[in-house]
Structure 1
Amino acid sequence: MRDFNDPADQPVVARSVSRADRDLMALAIGVAAIIMFIGTGANVMPDVVQALQGVGLPPDRLLSNALLLNIALIIFGLRRYRDLQEEVRERRMAEERARELAEHDPLTGCLNRRAIASATDALIAGSAERGEHVGFLMIDVDNFKRINDANGHSVGDNVLQACAARIADLLPARGLLARLGGDEFACVVPFAAGMPEPVEDFARRITLHVARPVPIGHLELEVTVSVGIARSDAHAEANAQALLHMADIAMYQAKKTGKNNHCWFDPAMEKDLRERHELETALRAAIPAGEFVPYYQQQIDIETGRITGFEMLARWNSPHYGHIGPEQFIAIAEEIGVIDDLSEGLIRQALRDAREWDPSITLAINVSPVQLRDPWFAQKLIKLLVEANFPASRLEVEITETCLHDNIQQVRTLIASLKNQGMTVSLDDFGSGYSSLAQLQSLPFDRLKIDRSFVSPMSGCTDSATIVRVISSLGEGLGLPITAEGVESAEIARQLRDLGNMHAQGYLYGRPESGSETLARLADMGLTAKTRPTERHQRPPLSDVA
């Protein structure tokens, strides 16, 4: 970190001011001119006075010229001195401006990343002399990229300014506030030894004070922050860089636990972060290596027991981590920005697999909320269908209910695009995301999928059974077919059958299988594309498990 008090490291402007302030040449000229004026004037002036009175001889011409030259030199020196003073003033103003720009963030007026390090080290040293410690708080604005993308960078800048002002309002005496870059801020505050409670209270007040709507024009943007805290007495050699690193890890943990909260650094977090980084690295390498493969779970007509389709589920066959389910890598892929590539590879392979199935069997794919924000997603999906020569009518796109709250207009446009191409669109995990009836009415879904959290406990929970019955009635009233997820027992299947005709999927009908296993199952049932039409469906449907 640069020390701006080191003369050898001062800006060029500062050194120029120092030289201008000590211009020996101008000083020498002025002093010499004054001495010569005194000496010459003592000889010449009496003669000049007598000549003007008409008495005596005129003054010596050479000495008179020397006197005039001395007067000119004195005038030059005075003007040079005045110009130097003006130059010094302007250069000092430029120096202050340069120092301000070097140490402060121009957008928010906070200290910047360069300045906070030396200021933190100085505060640590000063606090140690008082018997105090310091807390380092890393503050990150939640979902800031989404705010920027949806509203533009000027609105994003206004949000950052509002957040900085709100944090500054709470900053205690001797506290430091810096913007580290992007949507990250840092606060450094002293606290009495053995009494870190004021630091935690400060972090809590930050999350509460910042989490208020930010009015910008006709908009009111909801803003929250996640805060990570590190303390200097918890590290043997605490300095600014070490505290920043620990607070950054704690902040990441605060985001993992739901955002809009604070979290203290714990050494175990560093191990978790290292493992997370290793997993991210492996995930990035796994996509081009083809380690992600589609698995398929049966969807059954609950009345006849026949297979109506399969839902594609992602699996990671990692040589290092083994067989990994989607709950362990999908969220990470979304966070690090590789979900598009991962999903595209899976869909491409799934379309090739499904092409070998009986034409009556559909393929269902899940869409990530991140993909829904891509205005070209529908076109990308159509391109994959054309490449695989797969009919759009056999593809069902599942959109989770929580996606409806992100950008309802964009979701509506996407659904219209998909349906115009002949695809069907289902609302997945219905009941878990609090979608309104108005949204169901306005969005042209083709099917509702009841979330497994309601279906699985049906046999032992009257509340769950009631919710499933209500959703089934709602679907019937809206003219939307129903698929129940999480069917794991014959009793649940019986209860669902009593509610009317619907589709079901779950472990009762078999675990998800690979593409080759799925094709073998369908071949055994006479449900492949190569089966002659007269041979199809000759085998009995799946046994009546209820």
Structure 2
Amino acid sequence: MVVPGGTGRVAGTGASEGRGMATAPDRLDEAGRAEDQAHNDLLGLGIIIAAVLLFVANGSTVLADFVHSLMTGSRPREPMLGTALILNIALLLFGWRRYVDLTREVGQRREAEETAHKLAHTDPLTGCLNRRSMGPAVEQMVSTARTSGHEVVVMMMDLDNFKRSNDVHGHQAGDAVLLHTADRIRAILPAGSIIARLGGDEFACAAIFDPDHVESIDRLILRMNEAVAMPVRVDGLMLEVTASIGLAATSAADAGAPPALADTLLHRADLAMYQAKKAGRNRYCWFEQNMESELRFRSELEREIREGVARGEFVPYYEKQIDLETGELTGFEMLARWRSPRHGLLSPEIFIPIAEEIGLISELSENLIRQALRDARDWDPTLTLSVNISPIQLRDPWFAQKLLKLLVEANFPPHRLDIEITETCLHENVGVVRTLITSLKNQGIRISLDDFGTGYSSLAQLRTLPFDQIKIDRFFVSNLGKNKDSATIVEAISSLGKGMDLPITAEGIESPEVLDELRKFGKFKGQGFLYGQPGDASEIRAMLADRQLLQQQAENQSGIPARTAIA
């Protein structure tokens, strides 16, 4: 979708700029034609004036002579004057025709200028102002409001999950959502307000308000959120989007000239909108001063993540998975860690959401999986490797092929790999997940449903999707013995696993008391800090060597080479 004034494309560059800008010879030709046109217009005007003067001077005499010749049948006494009269009439007709042509040309030029002005200052899809004209419009509104003692609030709005809906249902459906959104916002904003589409699914609004009634803005934004969240029907489909809105007002802004203040308001509203998204989306947030420093830290973190991926600073750590009945080690779950030169060792909760937002999660995850497969290749063949997959990766139609390529490169047996898919992924697109699961299972890879109990999966989905095991979310496990509801949920999931013949792994076992409570509900595999902190590749290798659980050691003890090739 091409959006005038958007951030994805700079208007007037490339080939279009060559067509839109005249060269020096072209401008000279145009100037020459304009000069000739002006000369012709002056000449025509002179001819018309002369014709009118001749007609006034000779018209009465010629007409009297002409009438007399008609009544008496004699020849005109002044034939030359008659000829002059006919010439005068012809010149007047010529002048009138030229006047009509000039009037039409001026009208066409005026219409073209108005069209060009509209295209330069409005969004062609929604009819809103565009990015270029939003700033000056806010400047004018601030100046007007100050004369009456009022304030101006600027609102930045971004539609949540619009890109995903646009990709799934097509640009035509996306355009319909944008049109309905713009219409709904217009209907709610007070008279005299401003609305602009800045690009893609981002809108900006501005309105004048009474500083003694700031709560009116909060009510306005709540109505706006409710209106945008209403479903949009497009070709029989019901499309739903929500909006994250950031607010900034002149009453809280530093004093300054309107141009600087307008830019400041738009910038601060944008920061507040980002915070609204970060807080959970489908909500609004007022600008606060600490958001500036948070944005700078966020920008620095994004840059460091990009550089860290290129330098290989992200490494896999491994958490033990234990059979709770026998106490035996069954495998490891790979956990991402960032060895940052500036911040030290960081957990995935800090960098994974940012990597997803800036589009680096696929590259980051593939690098970690590649390292983990090479590390796990030397483990005892009975040990498995579990890997978490981001919901963004599941939208990649080539993910299964990429994963199989990594397995071939590492010469790692597929049956030892366990891919963990979070329960919330099923709510996003069950069809895509089903295709991916089927493709991976056909290659011998095991599939687990992670964080079970926190999402939206149903019994029907568990029955139709070929999962190999269920993992109970650590929140419910770690609260066993403290929270009655957690015990009820764990017991229900245990019964479900038995009924569907699905093994269950419990995450978050951090104390002997939790382990004792968990054993009351059946047989599980488990993992948690009770069995040790996650370790890097060298630490895990040393631990496995002590337990005689490395590939070479297994071969030496049995005398039979361990299978490492992909079947």
Tell me the TM-score normalized by structure 2: 0.87
Alignment counterpart, residue 506 of structure 1, candidates 524, 528, 532: 528
How much has 1:409 moved relative to structure 2?
Answer: 0.8
- Cα 1:213/1:45, change in 2 over 3 Å: closer
Aligned residue for 1:483, secondary structure, equals strand
**Structure 2 Cα separation of the partners of residues 498 and 380 of structure 1:** 41
Give yes or no for the alignment of 1:142 onto 2:164.
no
- Cα 1:65/1:161, change in 2 over 3 Å: same
Task: Write out per-residue CA displacement over residues 76-103 of structure 1, whole angstroms, 9 at most, x where no aligned residue.
Answer: 0011112222223333333332222222
**Structure 2 Cα separation of the partners of residues 56 and 83 of structure 1:** 39
Task: Write out per-residue CA displacement over residues 80-137 of structure 1, whole angstroms, 9 at most, x where no aligned residue.
Answer: 1122222233333333322222222111121222222222111111111111111111
Q: Which runs of 5 or more structure 1 residues have no equivalent in the other structure?
A: 1-11, 537-546
Structure 1 stretch 90-99 or stretch 167-176: which is displaced more?
A: 90-99
Tell me the TM-score normalized by structure 1: 0.91
Partner of 1:37: 55
Alignment counterpart, residue 424 of structure 1, candidates 433, 438, 446: 446
- Cα 1:354/1:57, change in 2 over 3 Å: closer
- Give 2:245's aligned amino acid: V
Is contact 1:450–1:484 with CA below 8 Å preserved after alignment? yes
**Structure 1 Cα separation of the partners of residues 510 and 527 of structure 2:** 9
Aligned residue for 1:247, secondary structure, equals helix
Is contact 1:51–1:59 with CA below 8 Å preserved after alignment? no
Partner of 2:470: 448
Partner of 2:8: none
Aligned residue for 2:213, secondary structure, equals coil
- Give 1:255's aligned amino acid: K
Alignment counterpart, residue 462 of structure 1, candidates 473, 476, 484: 484
**Structure 2 Cα separation of the partners of residues 309 and 203 of structure 1:** 51
Alignment counterpart, residue 193 of structure 1, candidates 211, 214, 238: 211
- Give 2:78's aligned amino acid: P
**Structure 2 Cα separation of the partners of residues 276 and 288 of structure 1:** 19
Aligned length: 519
Aligned residue for 1:88, secondary structure, equals helix
Partner of 2:140: 122
Task: Write out per-residue CA displacement over residues 268-308 of structure 1, whole angstroms, 9 at most, x where no aligned residue.
Answer: 11110111111011111111110100000010111221111
Give yes or no for the alignment of 1:334 onto 2:362.
no
- Cα 1:492/1:193, change in 2 over 3 Å: closer
Partner of 1:317: 339
How much has 1:70 moved relative to structure 2?
Answer: 2.3
Partner of 1:162: 180
Partner of 2:21: none
Alignment counterpart, residue 204 of structure 1, candidates 208, 222, 231: 222
Partner of 2:544: 522
Partner of 1:232: 250
Aligned residue for 1:190, secondary structure, equals strand
- Cα 1:82/1:464, change in 2 over 3 Å: same
How much has 1:523 moved relative to structure 2?
Answer: 0.8
Is contact 2:477–2:514 with CA below 8 Å preserved after alignment? yes
**Structure 2 Cα separation of the partners of residues 470 and 535 of structure 1:** 43
Partner of 1:9: none
Structure 1 stretch 33-42 or stretch 112-121: which is displaced more?
A: 33-42
Is contact 2:480–2:518 with CA below 8 Å preserved after alignment? no
Give the alignment of 1:74-89 within 5 angstroms: 74-89=92-107
Is contact 1:526–1:535 with CA below 8 Å preserved after alignment? no
Give yes or no for the alignment of 1:113 onto 2:131.
yes
Give yes or no for the alignment of 1:355 onto 2:377.
yes
Aligned residue for 1:530, secondary structure, equals helix
How much has 1:322 moved relative to structure 2?
Answer: 1.3
**Structure 2 Cα separation of the partners of residues 185 and 247 of structure 1:** 11
Task: Write out per-residue CA displacement over residues 513-534 of structure 1, whole angstroms, 9 at most, x where no aligned residue.
Answer: 0011111110111000111446
Give the alignment of 1:162-311 within 5 angstroms: 162-235=180-253, 236-237=255-256, 239-311=261-333
**Structure 1 Cα separation of the partners of residues 178 and 62 of structure 2:** 74
Structure 1 stretch 39-48 or stretch 27-36: which is displaced more?
A: 39-48
Is contact 1:189–1:199 with CA below 8 Å preserved after alignment? no
**Structure 2 Cα separation of the partners of residues 285 and 176 of structure 1:** 41
Task: Write out per-residue CA displacement over residues 166-204 of structure 1, whole angstroms, 9 at most, x where no aligned residue.
Answer: 111111122111111111111111012343222222111
Partner of 2:6: none
Partner of 2:413: 391
How much has 1:56 moved relative to structure 2?
Answer: 6.9
- Cα 1:41/1:149, change in 2 over 3 Å: same
- Cα 1:241/1:329, change in 2 over 3 Å: same
- Give 1:117's aligned amino acid: G
Is contact 2:395–2:432 with CA below 8 Å preserved after alignment? yes
Q: Which runs of 5 or more structure 2 residues have no equivalent in the other structure?
A: 1-26, 28-33, 559-567
**Structure 2 Cα separation of the partners of residues 133 and 495 of structure 1:** 60
**Structure 2 Cα separation of the partners of residues 176 and 482 of structure 1:** 56
- Cα 1:165/1:193, change in 2 over 3 Å: same
Alignment counterpart, residue 343 of structure 1, candidates 365, 369, 373: 365
How much has 1:140 moved relative to structure 2?
Answer: 1.1
Give yes or no for the alignment of 1:97 onto 2:115.
yes
Aligned residue for 1:513, secondary structure, equals coil
Aligned residue for 2:424, secondary structure, equals helix
Structure 1 stretch 370-379 or stretch 460-469: which is displaced more?
A: 460-469
- Give 1:193's aligned amino acid: P
Task: Write out per-residue CA displacement over residues 340-377 of structure 1, whole angstroms, 9 at most, x where no aligned residue.
Answer: 00000000000000011111111000000001111111
Is contact 1:47–1:57 with CA below 8 Å preserved after alignment? yes
How much has 1:46 moved relative to structure 2?
Answer: 5.1
Task: Write out per-residue CA displacement over residues 211-239 of structure 1, whole angstroms, 9 at most, x where no aligned residue.
Answer: 11111121111221111111012221253
Structure 1 stretch 72-81 or stretch 232-241: which is displaced more?
A: 232-241
How much has 1:50 moved relative to structure 2?
Answer: 5.2
Aligned residue for 1:358, secondary structure, equals coil
- Give 1:471's aligned amino acid: I
How much has 1:465 moved relative to structure 2?
Answer: 2.3
Aligned residue for 1:459, secondary structure, equals coil
- Cα 1:57/1:435, change in 2 over 3 Å: closer
Is contact 2:156–2:269 with CA below 8 Å preserved after alignment? yes
